[in-house]
Structure 1
């Protein structure tokens, strides 16, 4: 059994290499899972693989994510068959009259739904892709703006699911301000550098003040040439699903057919202590009542479209199961312990915040574990920071920034998977489009942590 050695990196490297070469995230995850099973089980790797598959299926987080995406799938199917999304897109014509305004509204909606990055990644992509289609905006650009904003806004607003979790970690490890971890988190918000830089880059991209580079530039040239905002590589079924409900009926648009379920989702989520499952279920119920009352759906449609919505999310659920298999194997291979052990000797003095951010960012990107990362590394980093004379709040924000970097960029992270599904693109295309901009935010964050580390050291 190979544990706590550099070979623990092999599953992660396999995932990235196979995904890029085949342009199929699912194949990459499967290859990574098989590699990890071989490292752990040797000739008995098949038993290890089956056991890991079972562990992933029994994971409570996978159950929760499956419920969320299935409910969203049903809701999106109801939106499409009722014409709610096309009504919303048509209604926005009165105040969204340009490409820049459509992208700015995309950014603003993502900020407004700061409660959780799953919520804004799914909701904003679904609501805005038809609006941006009118102005020849590639779907990958819409997804990039949403994903550059979703986790960063969740980590810098102190009333999100991210903030609540990270504040609890600080308090658990004895880092408090006025007796609470929440106070420490609020004090550290100016130092969550990746969140601020990514948020600003997302805004500048929406305003057209940053150039399109790499895959985004190629996608824009393709859209300009063909007039088709949908990416290449979609199956006929996927393309049909993305275009369903896009045609307008000629009647006066009723935006509240879309807005009321979304408002219900947000309000119920907040009132139930950030329970997105409850919010999504309530939104589905409101949509059914609205569309049946208006005869935009029949009882038969309710059941048929629910089935279609569940089936449309099948690929996403499979990706989640494989992603959690890889995460489980990484844990068994003690990847986190190896990374910490390899980098701990250089984590000292004023360099510590920058090194912590880099290590956490790379680890989160490589493994798809974000909150898990913070839960594992925070108890190591905070005592180390105190021991070497570094502000523990600053060190903690470096961990949280690294988690946000991973969520924004990881190919098989839940954030990328959900955002790509909502705008109708492949996870690999979205990740490659985001990397140049997230990379710029990461470089600026390293510089900022170096400055802050030297300014506060001792």
Structure 2
């Protein structure tokens, strides 16, 4: 009896210890490489890995290192493949589908949004069709996974929850300062400086430049604060939404102190580590700023459009409608009922500081939060000697925004009660109604994140990258990377997501191509800086044009502009700047032209385009 126990013990324990652990995706695209990891192969001898479907068999031979296989492979024909290792079947399988299927969900969502002008329905359709592809074309399973997986994951993600809470709290602040007269008082103060349509637009642009630290805060604060002023001057909601959107992400992506900086520098550092380059990621980012032609060009373009009062295409129609008829929105009021606020205002004795102080608390509270969380993070890591770049790079932007917006709510309530403008009950009612006005924004954000989850699961970005970047000269690399990021960000609706996907590919690709072509040090680093900037700016451009992007949605909601009208009027302007950035920026920079010369050429060309193509928006 004891001998039997010992026998089974000796047989089972080794098999348990050396049982193979396979790490492989359950779903992937044909001819796109995926990662295959086989742990505990038992030896370093050649291992046979077989993928078998109903119609195809693919046999691969690998030589493990330290008992482990870690490689990348691709499979061409579609189908469900069972995996066996050294002629032993495993429980693992992978489903391969045609690559072109991955672009259908975002493309469907975008086209439907432009055609039927119903964003939520369009996003839902894109999510649903994507889930059908993922779950073996089964609509019933797709219906179940729609809610309990993809939408739920969009909500429970920690960063997404921070954004939802921040958005709702901003709505609460706006509700209170609208009720206590702070918004009107602030509008009256700014109106004294912005006495004309030109002044109103330039003031909106200037605020967008000042609130540089976060794109979400920029959109929500400026849209809500400047709307009464732009309405008074008969400036279209489409123009306000464009100014808000076009100063939000570009400013946040350029400044060395913002909620973006830690994320961007982290991506650069991870990518640099892949190639073993001994360079400081923060320095690489700073050196790449002059190459961010799209972001720089957009900020200048917005100012010139506002100051010159010249427009073209659909924005010209929107502006002339507003100036001639007084209809600041392209839709009738009944069509925009979801944007209507039930927050009444106290206009008897409006005081500007009741609006300014809560907003300043959001601004400086966020900056203080960035400093506090950055210092705390560094000290926990045992680092006591650090610079401002280290602090911002290690800060927690989402917590900082949440603390600042919550503090602004508390201060707004205290100010309203202490001045006997509102009672506690009235303050909370105003806060609640302000939060309610942001619910539609939250719903759309959740669905936008849902389709982002679908595109991530279906490897949409990987497919687009694979078909575009098959072969390229180092001279055209910055332009190509910009185009890739623009297309993928447009299709997926996420600038940060595309940065995370492309940066680890773009920097090693630049490094390898530069070595193959024997680039000298100056040319190597210029190409590297331009590629880093192309990833960041290209993602911002694609995000600007995409109707499923969260920042585009927030700009529409904060400005109370019909979302599709905002997309239709903004896209021609964004494309104009992108073309100029490509012609005089990203292409010449690949051939060694100084970025400062490119910026001068870009500004001159922008002036010529607006003055020769644009028309006065008033008659």
Q: What TM-score, normalized to structure 1? A: 0.94
Structure 1 counterpart of 2:605: none
Structure 2 counterpart of 1:340: 465
Among 361, 381, 405, the alignment partner of 1:264 is: 361
Structure 1 counterpart of 2:174: 76
Say whether residues 1:218 and 2:218 are aligned partners: no
Structure 2 counterpart of 1:66: 164
Structure 2 counterpart of 1:355: 480
CA shift at 1:311, angstroms?
1.9
How far apart in 1 are the matches of 2:339 and 2:271? 49
Deviation string, structure 1 residues 368-394 (Cα, Å, up to 9, x no partner)? 121111111111110110111153222
CA shift at 1:350, angstroms?
0.8
CA shift at 1:225, angstroms?
3.3
Q: Which of 94-103 and 282-291 deviates more?
A: 94-103
Structure 1 counterpart of 2:578: 442
CA shift at 1:234, angstroms?
4.3
How far apart in 1 are the matches of 2:411 and 2:124? 38
Deviation string, structure 1 residues 115-159 (Cα, Å, up to 9, x no partner)? 011111111111111112221111110111121111111122121
Deviation string, structure 1 residues 400-448 (Cα, Å, up to 9, x no partner)? 0111112322212111111111111122111111111100111012221
Say whether residues 1:8 and 2:102 are aligned partners: yes
CA shift at 1:53, angstroms?
2.0
Among 134, 141, 162, the alignment partner of 2:239 is: 141
How far apart in 1 are the matches of 2:352 and 2:483? 44
Structure 2 counterpart of 1:48: 145
How far apart in 1 are the matches of 2:418 and 2:433? 21
Where do residues 206-355 of structure 1 align in structure 2 (5 Å cutoff)?
206-208=306-308, 211-235=310-334, 237-238=337-338, 240-241=340-341, 244-245=344-345, 248-249=347-348, 251=349, 253-273=350-370, 274=397, 275-355=400-480
Q: Which of 256-265 and 50-59 deviates more?
A: 50-59
Larger Cα-atom Rg: 2
Task: Return 5+ residue gaps in structure 2 as ranges.
Answer: 1-94, 371-396, 515-523, 595-619
Say whether residues 1:174 and 2:272 are aligned partners: yes
CA shift at 1:277, angstroms?
0.9
Structure 2 counterpart of 1:87: 185
Say whether residues 1:150 and 2:236 are aligned partners: no
How far apart in 2 are the matches of 1:379 and 1:347? 17
Count of residues paired in the alignment? 453
How far apart in 2 are the matches of 1:231 and 1:79? 27
Report 1 or 2 for greater relative contact order, CA contacts < 8 Å, sequence distance ≥ 6: 1
Tell me which protein shows more strand as a share of its residues: 2
Deviation string, structure 1 residues 168-217 (Cα, Å, up to 9, x no partner)? 222222279994211111111110111111111111111025x3223322
CA shift at 1:321, angstroms?
1.2
CA shift at 1:242, angstroms?
8.0
Does the 8 A contact of 1:361 with 1:402 survive in 2?
yes
How far apart in 1 are the matches of 2:225 and 2:472? 44
How far apart in 1 are the matches of 2:340 and 2:442? 20
Alpha carbons of structure 1 residues 2 and 23: separation in structure 2 relative to 1, 3 Å: farther
Does the 8 A contact of 1:29 with 1:323 survive in 2?
yes
Does the 8 A contact of 1:151 with 1:407 survive in 2?
no
Say whether residues 1:408 and 2:549 are aligned partners: no
Alpha carbons of structure 1 residues 238 and 36: separation in structure 2 relative to 1, 3 Å: closer
Alpha carbons of structure 1 residues 86 and 231: separation in structure 2 relative to 1, 3 Å: farther
Does the 8 A contact of 2:235 with 2:328 survive in 1?
yes
Structure 2 counterpart of 1:162: 260
Structure 1 counterpart of 2:304: 204
How far apart in 1 are the matches of 2:282 and 2:479? 23
Does the 8 A contact of 1:170 with 1:181 survive in 2?
yes
Tell me which protein shows more helix as a share of its residues: 1
CA shift at 1:18, angstroms?
0.8
How far apart in 2 are the matches of 1:240 and 1:369? 27
Q: What TM-score, normalized to structure 2? A: 0.70
Q: Which of 326-335 and 448-457 deviates more?
A: 448-457
How far apart in 1 are the matches of 2:490 and 2:342? 29
Q: Which of 229-238 and 87-96 deviates more?
A: 229-238
Q: Which of 295-304 and 380-389 deviates more?
A: 295-304
CA shift at 1:222, angstroms?
2.1
Q: Which of 83-92 and 193-202 deviates more?
A: 83-92
How far apart in 2 are the matches of 1:134 and 1:314? 26
Alpha carbons of structure 1 residues 438 and 278: separation in structure 2 relative to 1, 3 Å: same
Structure 2 counterpart of 1:34: 128
Structure 2 counterpart of 1:19: 113
